[in-house]
């Protein structure tokens, strides 16, 4: 496939591993130490590890999360309590241990971590270099390796939408000839699960495209269904995950909290709507408008099992997520088999049909909740049309 998609693994890794090994969904996996302890990662079969990336997750270096503490190279652990003043003294040792772990486990790439900084400060690059980038490159230079090296870029939507900052990051990254690629993660704070900003999507597509233009490989991490649009960037690696904290990037998962959180309502991914819809509302469409249901639902063994049950599934049961993996992987596979111009045409067709299908749902009448409605689709259409005009139109 000219487009790859990796499982962004959360705290139920077996769902993703089973989807990858048994259902043949995806080309690989990304493990995260905030969700898997060191011994759990080490116990994974080597046949899986060779298709695996390990994200060291130095984003919040003083995180107190217990699973992170099982990794002796994590900044909070190795420094005995992270401080920006003292950490540079142990940064080299942290890099050495982290690289040794990644190489020793047989992962397919070496990921250089970065700290999450949420401001476009003037010394952004200098801080990242002191914190991890230069120590990691120093160690890599000492040991030598043929394993592809990727740098982590945890950025904000404001950074992406600032053309000058995007250019600054691109110039910085391309100053390291050792790099094979970038692992990009973006925080995009919003009131809806789906991204509804055409400005952000347009800027992000431009950002991804610039890396490919200079020959760098790209992994777009922690993405939701908007990653369908990123398939316009050829040879990209996309990600999909189960719980929402694997489908969007934020620091929440790295912060200890005693606050009890209510589990979200179960949702099912409906390819014909290009959206996740509350399961109970999906059932209403199925029961009350079978013709429309046939247009928006793609049958999988997991989706069929959930719909056949007399009890509504819980959000923390695997069927709806494995259904999503199968449906979404098939959409990515279809796009990957096309050239970029035809991908654009198919995406445009899918989005316009999804808008029509959402209108049909409203006309039933059934008003989907604000996360499940189709308000994201016009911004999606606007962003790919802009991409066509800039990069594809002859």
Asked if 228 contacts 347 with a C-beta cutoff of 8 angstroms, the reply is yes
Handedness of CA 93, 96, 100, 102 (dihedral sign): positive
In angstroms, the CA 244 to CA 123 distance is 32
Instruction: Give me the CATH code for the 4-254 domain, please.
Output: 3.20.20
Q: For residue 220, list its beta bridge partners.
A: 184
Asked if 252 contacts 234 with a C-beta cutoff of 8 angstroms, the reply is no
In angstroms, the CA 239 to CA 247 distance is 8
**Tokens 């039933």 sit at which residue?**
364
Which residue ranges does the chain devote to CATH 3.20.20?
A: 4-254
pLDDT in tens, the chain (394 residues): 589 999 999 988 999 999 999 999 999 999 999 999 999 999 999 999 999 999 999 999 999 999 999 999 999 999 988 888 888 889 999 999 999 999 999 999 999 999 999 999 999 999 999 999 999 999 999 999 999 999 999 999 999 999 999 999 999 999 999 999 999 999 998 989 999 999 999 999 999 999 999 999 999 999 999 999 999 999 999 999 999 889 999 999 998 765 555 667 899 999 999 999 999 999 999 999 999 999 999 999 999 999 999 888 887 789 999 999 999 999 999 999 999 999 999 999 999 999 999 999 999 999 999 999 999 999 999 999 999 999 998 7
Cite the DSSP H helix spans in 196-318: 198-213, 227-230, 279-288, 290-296, 301-308
| Closest-CA residue to 377 (of 228, 204, 168) | 228
Extract the tokens encoding 272: 């014909």
**Tokens 């993660």 sit at which residue?**
185
Q: How many CB atoms lie within 10 A of CB 352?
A: 13
CA distances 91 to 55, 88, 129, 147, 219, Å, are 17, 5, 11, 21, 25
| Closest-CA residue to 273 (of 380, 200, 388, 198) | 380
């Amino acid at each position: 496939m000219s487009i790859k998609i990796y499982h962004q693994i959360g705290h139920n890794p077996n769902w993703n591993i089973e989807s990858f090994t048994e259902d043949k969904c995806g080309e690989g996996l990304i493990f995260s130490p905030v969700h898997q302890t060191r011994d759990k990662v080490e116990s994974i079969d080597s046949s899986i590890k060779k298709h695996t990336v390990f994200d060291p997750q130095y984003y919040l270096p003083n995180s107190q999360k217990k699973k992170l503490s099982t990794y002796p190279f994590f900044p909070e652990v190795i420094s005995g309590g992270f401080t920006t003043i003292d950490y540079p003294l142990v940064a080299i040792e942290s890099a050495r241990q982290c690289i040794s772990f990644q190489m020793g486990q047989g992962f397919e790439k070496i990921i250089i971590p970065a700290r999450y900084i949420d401001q476009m400060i003037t010394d952004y690059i200098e801080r990242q270099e002191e914190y991890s980038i230069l120590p990691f490159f120093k160690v890599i230079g000492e040991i030598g390796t043929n394993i592809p090296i990727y740098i982590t870029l945890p950025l904000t939507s404001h950074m992406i939408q600032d053309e000058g900052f995007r250019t600054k990051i691109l110039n910085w990254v391309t100053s390291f000839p050792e790099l094979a690629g970038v692992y990009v993660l973006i925080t995009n704070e919003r009131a809806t699960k789906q991204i509804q900003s055409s400005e952000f999507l347009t800027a992000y597509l431009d950002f991804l495209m610039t890396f490919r233009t200079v020959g760098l490989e790209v992994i777009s991490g922690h993405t939701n269904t908007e990653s369908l649009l990123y398939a316009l960037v050829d040879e990209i690696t996309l990600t999909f995950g189960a719980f929402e904290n694997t489908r969007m990037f934020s620091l929440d998962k790295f912060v200890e909290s005693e606050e009890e959180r209510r589990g979200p309502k179960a949702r099912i991914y409906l390819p014909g709507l290009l959206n996740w819809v509350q399961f109970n509302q999906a059932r209403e469409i199925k029961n009350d408008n079978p013709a429309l249901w046939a247009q928006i639902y793609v049958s999988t063994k997991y989706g069929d099992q959930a719909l056949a049950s007399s009890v509504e599934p819980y959000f923390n049961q695997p069927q709806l997520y494995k259904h999503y993996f199968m449906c979404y992987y098939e959409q990515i596979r279809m796009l990957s088999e096309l050239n970029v111009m035809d991908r654009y045409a198919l995406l445009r067709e899918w989005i316009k049909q999804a808008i029509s299908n959402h209108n049909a749902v409203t006309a039933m009448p059934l008003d989907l909740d604000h996360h499940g409605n189709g308000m994201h689709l016009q911004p999606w259409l606007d962003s790919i049309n802009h991409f066509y005009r800039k990069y594809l139109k002859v």
